């Protein structure tokens, strides 16, 4: 089985301040763990391209996209909300992050890789149709899903989101598009205070209380996600892979362990093998405890390898 990792040095240049949790060291921690575990040597490495405006326009408002380009500073920082800012390298990094998922989709659809992991930042799942928020500028996973639908003519794409925060942006973008099933677990009540109602059959939100452990997470997946995914029979699975539900991550209050991320990845892989010819594209979202992040990504990729 061939697994690709897609990244780019430009993603290291986006910074939002010395003490901001969404920092370049996140990618370094992942790269170091992949090296020390030996995984780096069996993965195919690819540079993330820049997403095009056409690709972004499939999920984002044209005026919003233009505003992000216009706000990109030549020096210093520009804050879009209290948590989210741009430096002179942010726009390029954000375009690379979205472009990575597009490339991943193209590669698995062409059979060049069984699965791909996009080791990129900034993350994307909070970015709505016309709004940046929560460290996110463009909705990377949504851009990839829309590309799969438009270019590869797929009929059913599933997005799985196990980040500790609800992917409000992804739900916002696909709320009226039944060809995209969105399955999410997240801590509630918690930022961004969304996702507590399943507004349509293709939106499967499962809130978890603070303190929920791996068993509660696994029960939620088995009860709510897996039957829906089996019924939906996706032709491609995309993963918003956030690892901030880890017990060591002090950004939130869930208590997942490395092996819980491996377990859920294995369950997703089973669905992909049965209905989607094994095709999975995963993209990094949250995860801010650096050691736990590196280990969890390694567990995730090991599970993708089977």
Catalytic annotation present for 126: yes
Instruction: Identify the burial level of 3 via C-beta atoms within 10 angstroms of its C-beta, where 0-12 means exposed, 13-18 middle and 19 or more buried.
Output: buried
Instruction: With CA atoms as reference, report the closest residue to 285 among 84, 125, 103.
Output: 125
Q: Which of 8, 60, 126, 147 is catalytic?
A: 126
Q: Give one word for 53, left, alpha or beta, with left for phi > 0 and alpha for psi -120 to 50.
A: alpha
SS (H, E, C) the chain: CCEEEEECHHHHCCCCCCCCCCCCHHHHHHHHHHHHHCHHHHCEEEECCCCCHHHHHCCCCHHHHHHHHHHCCCCCCEEEECCEEECCCHHHHHHHHHHHHHHHHHHHHCCCCCEEEECCCCCCCCCECCECECCECCCHHHHHHHHHHHCCCCCCEEEEECCCCCCHHHHHHHCCCCCEEEEEEEECCCCCCCCCCCCCCCEEEEEECCCCEHHHHHHHHHHHHHHHHHHHCCCEEEEEECCCCECCCCCCCCEECHHHHHHHHHHHHHHHHHHCCCCEEEEECCCCCHHHHHHHHHHHHHHHHC
Active site residues: 126
């Amino acid at each position: 089985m061939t697994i690709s990792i897609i990244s780019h040095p430009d993603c290291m240049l986006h910074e939002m301040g010395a003490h901001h949790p969404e920092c370049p060291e996140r990618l370094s921690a992942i790269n170091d763990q992949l090296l020390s575990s030996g995984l780096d040597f069996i993965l195919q490495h690819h540079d993330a391209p820049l997403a095009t405006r056409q690709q972004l326009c499939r999920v984002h408002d044209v005026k919003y996209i233009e505003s992000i380009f216009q706000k990109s500073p030549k020096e210093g920082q520009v804050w879009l909300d209290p948590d989210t800012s741009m430096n002179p390298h942010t726009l390029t990094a954000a375009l690379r992050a979205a472009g990575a998922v597009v490339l991943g989709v193209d590669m698995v659809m062409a059979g060049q890789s069984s699965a791909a992991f996009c080791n990129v930042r900034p993350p994307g799942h909070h970015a709505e149709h016309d709004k940046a928020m929560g460290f996110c500028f463009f909705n990377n996973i949504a851009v990839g899903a829309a590309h799969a639908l438009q270019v590869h003519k797929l009929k059913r794409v599933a997005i799985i989101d196990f980040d500790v925060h609800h992917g409000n942006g992804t739900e916002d973008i696909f709320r009226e598009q039944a060809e995209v099933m969105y399955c999410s677990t997240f801590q509630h009540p918690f930022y961004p205070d969304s996702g507590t109602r399943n507004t349509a059959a293709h939106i499967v939100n499962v809130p978890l209380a603070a303190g929920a452990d791996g068993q509660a997470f696994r029960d939620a997946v088995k009860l709510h996600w897996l039957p829906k995914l089996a019924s939906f029979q996706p032709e491609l699975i995309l993963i918003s892979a956030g690892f901030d539900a880890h017990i060591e991550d002090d950004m939130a209050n869930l208590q997942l362990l490395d092996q819980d991320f491996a377990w859920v990845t294995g369950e997703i892989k089973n669905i992909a093998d049965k209905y989607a010819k094994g095709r999975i594209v995963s993209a990094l979202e949250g995860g801010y405890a650096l050691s736990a992040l590196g280990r969890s990504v390694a567990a995730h990729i090991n599970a993708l390898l089977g």
